[in-house]
């Protein structure tokens, strides 16, 4: 007998295929009407199955945060990966350079040290590693701090062997969760103007700048409409979480964690899914389909106030995680559901590992 949803041991990561497909379809429709292309970030879902559905719907490739994510995508046949992050260790760059023989791979840089390291790796592998200059657009994390700094890195990337200058990227992460749409639009537009100014400087210096990449789920439509932006890195929209639902309610909660009621005290419902199953950063989890107020999220438990719930010990409850990228990374696999029926299991790929051979 094939195991069903009721046979799952909780807490279990669940992915609703109908909602996932609807989200991917909706985003593809939006991008059909926007000047920019979609290059979804895979850091949230860490799944080449989901990445391939996104590419089949028109995405031009994927964005990744880590070497392991990028390699998992290439191994599954995704042909174009942008690592929106600085990769500086030699073993990681060597693996990326050898993957660059079978796929188009680019890494983001904000220092000459990273460009030189990528160049060495590319030369050794006899391959070309793409270079995208990261520009700080106001978040204050990584990125060149001025157009002049971006141009000088671009000149180096254009000059060195083993690398190929592809363009610029920036991430307006300081704007993506602004709940007021008008304010979010103003802030994201101002951030993207910083990136566009750097791109214009590269062009003035006759440096190639085919890629101008930015944006996330919270800003996809604003950033995707900004003049000069060629691609958008939004990714969580496919599976969703509470953090992103606050700003983009047009996407459905495809990702949930199935939990069991383990203890009941008046209106307090205690579940077997705590921080080790749903994580607990950036936003609180939500009980799906019930009015519930989160009381606590502990290591192995979460507690919700639910009036007149009729719940009993042993009942199952679905939780929508607060922040999908953290929740997914805690699980080895998705239980894939269609129409309420368990239909498949998909691995969560490229999870963090401290094994000596791991590449994180």
Ligand X SMILES: Cc1ncc(COP(=O)(O)O)c(C=O)c1O
Quote the strand ranges of 135-188, DSSP E.
Answer: 163-169
Residues 194-223: x where in contact with ligand X by CB under 6 A, - otherwise, as a string: ----------------------xx------
Residue 54 interacting with ligand X (CB under 6 A): no
Of 26-34, 114-122, 234-242, 337-345, the window that binds ligand X (rule: CB under 6 A) is 234-242
The total of other beta-carbon atoms located within 10 Å of residue 330's CB is 18
Of 49-57, 230-238, 276-284, 329-337, the window that binds ligand X (rule: CB under 6 A) is 230-238
The nearer residue to ligand X, 167 or 235, going by C-beta atoms, is: 235
What is the closest distance, in whole angstroms, from the C-beta atom of residue 84 to ligand X in the complex? 4
Number of residue whose CB is nearest ligand X? 216
The nearer residue to ligand X, 235 or 303, going by C-beta atoms, is: 235
CB 140 within 8 A of CB 174: yes
- DSSP character string of 178-218: -SSHHHHHHHHHHHHHHHHHHHHHHHHTT----EEEE--TT
Of 18-26, 228-236, 249-257, 263-271, the window that binds ligand X (rule: CB under 6 A) is 228-236
Query: What is the Cα–Cα distance from 268 to 360, expressed in whole angstroms?
Result: 39
Q: Find the binder of ligand X among 58, 79, 173, 347 (CB under 6 A).
A: 173
In sequence order, the 6+-apart residues with CB closer than 8 A to the CB of 254 are: 15, 16, 17, 19, 20, 23, 238, 239, 240
Query: What is the Cα–Cα distance from 233 to 93, expressed in whole angstroms?
Result: 22
What is the closest distance, in whole angstroms, from the C-beta atom of residue 173 to ligand X in the complex? 6
Segment 129 to 168, residues that bind ligand X, using CB under 6 A: none
The nearer residue to ligand X, 138 or 274, going by C-beta atoms, is: 138
Residue 236 interacting with ligand X (CB under 6 A): yes
Q: Find the binder of ligand X among 41, 245, 286, 331 (CB under 6 A).
A: 41
Query: What is the Cα–Cα distance from 134 to 168, expressed in whole angstroms?
Result: 6
In sequence order, the 6+-apart residues with CB closer than 8 A to the CB of 13 are: 255, 257, 327, 328, 331, 333, 334, 335, 348
The nearer residue to ligand X, 17 or 234, going by C-beta atoms, is: 234
What is the closest distance, in whole angstroms, from the C-beta atom of residue 236 to ligand X in the complex? 3
Residue 254 interacting with ligand X (CB under 6 A): no
The pair of structure tokens assigned to 233 is 């890195």
Binding residues vs ligand X (CB under 6 A) = 41, 44, 84, 171, 173, 176, 216-217, 233-236
């Amino acid at each position: 007998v094939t195991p069903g949803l009721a046979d799952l041991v909780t807490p279990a990561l669940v992915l609703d295929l109908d909602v996932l497909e609807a989200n991917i379809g909706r985003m593809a429709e939006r991008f059909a009407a926007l000047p920019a292309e979609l290059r979804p970030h895979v850091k949230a879902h860490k799944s080449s199955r989901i990445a391939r559905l996104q590419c089949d719907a028109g995405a031009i490739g994927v964005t990744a945060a880590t070497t392991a994510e990028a390699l998992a995508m290439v191994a599954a046949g995704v042909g174009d990966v942008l690592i929106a992050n600085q990769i500086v260790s030699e073993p990681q760059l060597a693996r990326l350079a050898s993957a660059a023989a079978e796929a188009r791979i680019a890494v983001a840089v904000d220092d000459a040290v990273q460009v030189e390291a990528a160049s060495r790796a590319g030369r050794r592998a006899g391959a070309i590693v793409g270079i995208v200059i990261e520009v700080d657009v106001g978040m204050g994390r990584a990125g060149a701090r001025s157009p002049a700094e971006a141009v000088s890195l671009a000149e180096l990337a254009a000059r060195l062997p083993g690398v190929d200058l592809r363009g610029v990227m920036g991430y307006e992460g300081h704007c993506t969760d602004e709940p007021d749409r008008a304010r979010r639009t103003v802030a994201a537009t101002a951030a993207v103007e910083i990136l566009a100014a750097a791109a214009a400087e590269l062009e003035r210096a006759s440096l190639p700048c085919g890629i101008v990449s930015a944006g996330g789920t919270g800003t996809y439509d604003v950033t995707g409409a900004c003049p000069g932006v060629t691609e958008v890195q939004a990714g969580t929209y496919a599976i969703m979480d509470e953090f992103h639902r606050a700003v983009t309610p047009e996407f459905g909660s495809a990702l949930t964690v199935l939990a069991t009621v383990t203890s009941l005290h008046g209106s307090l419902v205690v579940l077997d899914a705590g921080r080790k199953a749903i994580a607990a950063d950036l936003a609180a989890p939500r009980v799906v389909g019930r009015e519930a107020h989160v009381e606590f999220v502990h290591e192995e438990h979460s507690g919700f106030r639910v009036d007149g719930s009729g719940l009993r010990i042993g009942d199952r409850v679905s939780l929508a995680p607060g922040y999908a990228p953290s929740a997914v990374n805690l699980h080895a696999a998705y239980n894939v559901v269609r129409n309420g029926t368990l239909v498949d299991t998909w691995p969560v790929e490229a999870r963090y590992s401290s094994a000596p051979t791991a590449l994180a």
